[in-house]
């Protein structure tokens, strides 16, 4: 590779935590800065170039006015990477998609509700074609670096498509179901090294669903372990709303638990 | 060599002594379960443990392991075969049977240098089970409730002491230096005989047929409807295979450094229960349905290994039964296949 590829970071509806994790990755792997040329990165620099080959987009598309800038990035960049759960899945912003948006706006913005043009939140891939995604809320530092390496090698980044339970068992964690709680691990895409179960917390699914999740039977498992219909729905809603609603629209994945 | 007696009070001295020459690993309690890990004293582990989350197989065939290092600029490749001399304390007899199978598999055909290197550096101290470990276990039905010949040292709990039977030079090498160890006396033989005869009735026979019938039962069950029923429930989480002491499938991958000039090749446990396992070059997947994958798994456990290596692929440890969130178990599966063949009219869907 001759010239160093220029990369840029953009943010839409998000907390910028994934970009902060990028800063963290750069501290962990300073060699990365020798391999690429960062031209726009609000978290770490004030200059703003707009000549770039790889664009990382953080955040979901949550307003009609987001669409034009997202499309403009696609026009310019050779490669677009969705960075983090909001960009990859719509993230927690999509929780509102199951509610009346007028009500949500009034709840959040009070008497200023009319000023905001929000609509159901969507992942970036619902607006433009994305070439790769780095899942997670926030992203995993090592996965970020792995993805950049593959892009530099000219190879398409690959996400693990097995469930979290695989990583969890390979680390020999005691399953949370045996510790009296519940977990979405069997239907969630691995890649975070099962960090939440490793620290005793259930997986909430921030990396999204595996390609063929058996949601129906996981719901039975959740019911058997004492979750009510509402609790199960809430668990499936935090990060998975967009994916689950898409499955429902396609006629799979009844949102109500099996019992 | 005659059996020896190791008083329990000397266990701590023994561990400290072993640690001067070996890494010592044993079942350590963790959140109500047990996990094999390095120990420094007798208070850190429990040889009366029920079962471990992962089998001690992980010391011979680690979940993730470097295979070689390479440089692409200099065309260099160097194998990474390394590991400490290890004593595994407290291997149950079912897991010993699993290692016997792995020993055959890994040495047959293309021999696995990494496995064999770990095996050569590992001393296995097995321990006799005196009561069933979990509700999911069925070792007595599988014939794995006594240790196979591959042990180095075999312990039986006599109350205040362990009877230690030596199975190899490697096992014998663990005892010199432990002053409290003494040869068996007549009263020890009587005690050992009593413990051994009292233990057997405590174990239920859980298969409803003789295990020697298992391979032929499977042969005639290939088209059973049961596979579809299991496939509907199965979450494809692969816990059953990842906790299994006889599973040995792995995936190989390369990781390059940021310079893109050097890197390493490593392997990681893989599972036939995962979507992509049977995907071959070109993208074709010849086992997409979870039903077909469940069938494959149980055929591996109850037939294919016997055909290929003369040993059963399931040792009845029950780990998969305890791990499976939708209650798919070998005992229920094998018994249900048997019932459907022998009383087809009365067949019921497998209970959950
Ligand atoms: S804790 Fe969660 S991720 Fe881990 S094995 Fe259990 S269900 Fe799977
Ligand atoms: S364990 Fe689940 S919630 Fe936690 S980081 Fe991983 S995918 Fe996200
Ligand atoms: S543990 Fe159970 S649910 Fe998971 S893959 Fe195995 S049989 Fe299926
Ligand atoms: S199939 Fe299940 S019971 Fe049999 S050896 Fe494997 S984990 Fe143990
Ligand atoms: S399955 Fe049997 S042999 Fe294995 S640990 Fe349990 S009781 Fe012991």
In terms of CA atoms, which chain A residue is nearest residue B56?
Answer: A172
Q: Which residues share a beta bridge with B35?
A: B28
Nearest residue of chain B to residue A165 (CA atoms): B237
Q: Do the Cβ atoms of B155 and B125 come closer than 8 Å?
A: yes
- The answer to whether the beta carbons of residues B125 and B171 sit under 8 Å apart is yes
User: A15 CB near a chain B CB, below 8 Å?
Assistant: no
Contact A80, A55 (CB under 8 A): yes
Residue A188 Cα: closest atom of ligand 2: 7
The best mutation among B98, B318, B323, B333 to test binding of ligand 4, ranked by most ligand atoms within 8 Å of the C-beta, falls on B318
Q: Is B234 in the pocket of ligand 3 (CB under 6 A)?
A: yes
Least confident of B102-106, B223-227, B255-259: B255-259
SS3 B255: strand
Is the separation of the CB atoms in A104 and A29 below 8 Å?
Answer: no
Distance B237 CA to ligand 3 centre (A): 5
Give the up-direction half-sphere exposure of residue B100: CA atoms within 13 A in the CB hemisphere.
24
Which residues in chain A have Cβ-Cβ distances shorter than 8 Å to B234?
Answer: 214, 217
CA distance B138 to chain A (A): 21
Low-confidence residues of chain A: pLDDT under 70: 1-2, 252-259
Residue B100 DSSP one-character state: H
Q: Does residue B272 have a pLDDT over 90?
A: no
* Residue ranges covered by each domain of chain A: 6-152, 164-250
Higher pLDDT, B281 or B233: B233
Q: Out of A163, A174, A220, whose CB is closest to B237? A: A163
Ligand 2 atom closest to A194 (CA): 1
Task: Give the ligand whose atoms come closest to the C-alpha of residue B50.
Answer: 5
Q: Mention every residue, 6+ apart, whose C-beta is less than 8 A from residue B156.
A: B127, B128, B130, B162, B163, B165, B192, B195, B196
How do strand A6-11 and strand B86-92 relate by DSSP bridges?
A: unpaired
Q: How far is the CA of B106 from the centre of ligand 5 (A)?
A: 24
The domain A6-152 is placed in CATH, from the list 3.40.50.700, 3.20.20.80, 3.40.50.1820, 3.40.190.290, at 3.40.50.700
Residue B321's pLDDT is 97
- Report d(CA A13, CA A86) in Å as an integer: 7
pTM: 0.91
List b or e across B316-331, with b for residues whose CB sees 16 or more CB atoms inside 10 angstroms. bbbbbbbbbbbebbbb
Nearest CB to A29; choose among B33, B236, B258: B258
Question: What's residue B348's pLDDT?
Answer: 55
Question: Residue A169 and residue B35: Cβ atoms within 8 Å?
Answer: no
A1, with CB counted inside 10 A (0-12, 13-18, 19+), is exposed
Using the structure block, give the residue that is written with the tokens 């709840």.
Answer: A107
Beta strands in chain B (DSSP E): 4-7, 23-30, 33-38, 64-71, 76-79, 86-92, 122-127, 153-157, 161-166, 182-183, 250-256, 262-269
Confidence category of residue B320, pLDDT binned at 50, 70, 90: very high
Are B64 and A170 a contacting pair at CB < 8 A? Answer: yes
Beta bridge partners of A48: A40
Half-sphere exposure (CA, 13 Å, Cβ side) for A154?
Answer: 1
User: Residue range B117-139: average pLDDT?
Assistant: 97
Task: State how far the Cα of B239 lies from the Cα of A175, in Å rounded to an integer.
Answer: 10
Report which secondary-structure segment, H or E, holds A38: strand A37-40
Nearest CA to ligand 1 atom 2: A185
Q: For residue range B190-221, what is the model confidence (pLDDT) as tens digits?
A: 999 999 999 999 999 999 999 999 999 999 99
What's the token pair of residue B352? 């959950």
B86 beta partners: B23, B122
User: In this complex, do B53 and A169 lie within 8 Å of one another by their Cβ atoms?
Assistant: yes
């Amino acid at each position: 590779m001759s010239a160093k590829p220029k990369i840029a970071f953009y943010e839409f509806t998000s907390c910028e935590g994934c970009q902060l994790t990028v800063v963290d990755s750069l501290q962990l792997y300073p060699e990365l800065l020798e391999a690429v040329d960062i031209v726009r990165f609000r978290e770490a620099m004030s200059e703003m170039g707009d000549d770039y080959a790889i664009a990382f987009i953080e955040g979901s598309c949550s307003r009609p006015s987001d669409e034009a800038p997202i499309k403009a990035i696609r026009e310019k960049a050779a490669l677009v990477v969705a960075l983090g759960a909001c960009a990859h899945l719509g993230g927690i912003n999509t929780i509102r998609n199951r509610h009346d948006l007028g009500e949500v706006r009034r709840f959040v913005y009070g008497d200023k509700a009319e000023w905001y043009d929000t609509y159901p939140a969507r992942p970036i891939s619902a607006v433009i074609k994305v070439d790769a995604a780095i899942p997670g809320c926030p992203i995993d530092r090592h996965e970020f670096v792995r993805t950049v390496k593959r892009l530099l090698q000219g190879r398409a980044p690959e996400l693990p498509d097995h469930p979290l339970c695989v990583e969890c068992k390979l680390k020999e964690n005691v399953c949370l179901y045996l510790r009296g709680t519940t977990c979405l691990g069997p239907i969630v895409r691995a890649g975070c090294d099962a960090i939440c179960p490793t620290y005793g917390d259930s997986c909430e699914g921030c990396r999204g669903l595996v390609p063929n999740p058996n949601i129906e039977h996981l719901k039975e498992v959740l019911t058997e372990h004492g979750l009510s219909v509402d609790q199960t729905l809430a668990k499936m809603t935090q990060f998975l709303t967009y994916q689950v609603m898409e499955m429902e629209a396609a006629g799979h994945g009844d949102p109500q638990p099996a019992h | 060599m005659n059996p020896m007696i190791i008083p329990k009070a000397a266990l701590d001295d023994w561990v400290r002594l072993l640690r001067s020459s070996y890494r010592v690993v044993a079942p350590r309690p963790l959140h109500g379960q047990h996990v094999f890990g390095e120990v420094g004293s007798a208070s850190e582990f429990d040889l009366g443990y029920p079962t471990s989350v992962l089998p001690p197989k992980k010391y011979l065939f680690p979940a993730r392991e470097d295979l070689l290092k390479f440089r692409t600029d200099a065309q260099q490749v160097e194998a990474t075969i390394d590991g400490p001399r290890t004593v595994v304390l407290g291997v149950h007899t079912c897991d010993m049977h699993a290692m016997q199978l792995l020993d055959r598999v890994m040495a047959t055909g293309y021999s696995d240098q990494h496995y064999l290197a770990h095996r050569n550096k590992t001393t296995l101290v097995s321990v006799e089970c005196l009561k069933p470990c979990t509700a999911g276990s069925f070792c007595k039905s599988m014939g794995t409730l006594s240790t196979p010949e591959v042990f180095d040292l075999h312990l039986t709990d006599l109350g205040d002491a362990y009877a230690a039977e030596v199975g190899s030079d490697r096992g014998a090498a663990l005892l010199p230096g432990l002053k409290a160890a003494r040869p068996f006396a007549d009263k020890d033989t009587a005690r050992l005989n009593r413990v051994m005869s009292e233990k057997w009735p405590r174990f239920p026979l859980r298969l409803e047929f003789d295990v020697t019938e298992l391979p032929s039962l499977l042969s005639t069950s290939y088209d059973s409807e049961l596979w579809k029923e299991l496939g509907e429930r199965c979450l494809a989480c692969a816990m059953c295979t990842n906790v299994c002491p006889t599973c040995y499938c792995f995936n190989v991958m390369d990781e390059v450094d940021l310079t893109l000039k050097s890197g390493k090749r490593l392997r990681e446990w893989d599972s036939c229960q995962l979507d992509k396992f049977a995907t071959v070059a070109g993208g074709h997947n010849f086992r997409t349905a979870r039903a077909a994958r469940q069938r494959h798994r149980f055929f591996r456990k109850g037939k294919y290994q016997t055909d290929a290596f003369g040993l059963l692929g399931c040792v009845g440890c029950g780990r998969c039964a305890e791990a499976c969130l939708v209650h798919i178990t070998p005992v229920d599966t094998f018994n249900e296949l048997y019932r459907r063949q022998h009383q087809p009219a009365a067949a019921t869907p497998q209970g959950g």
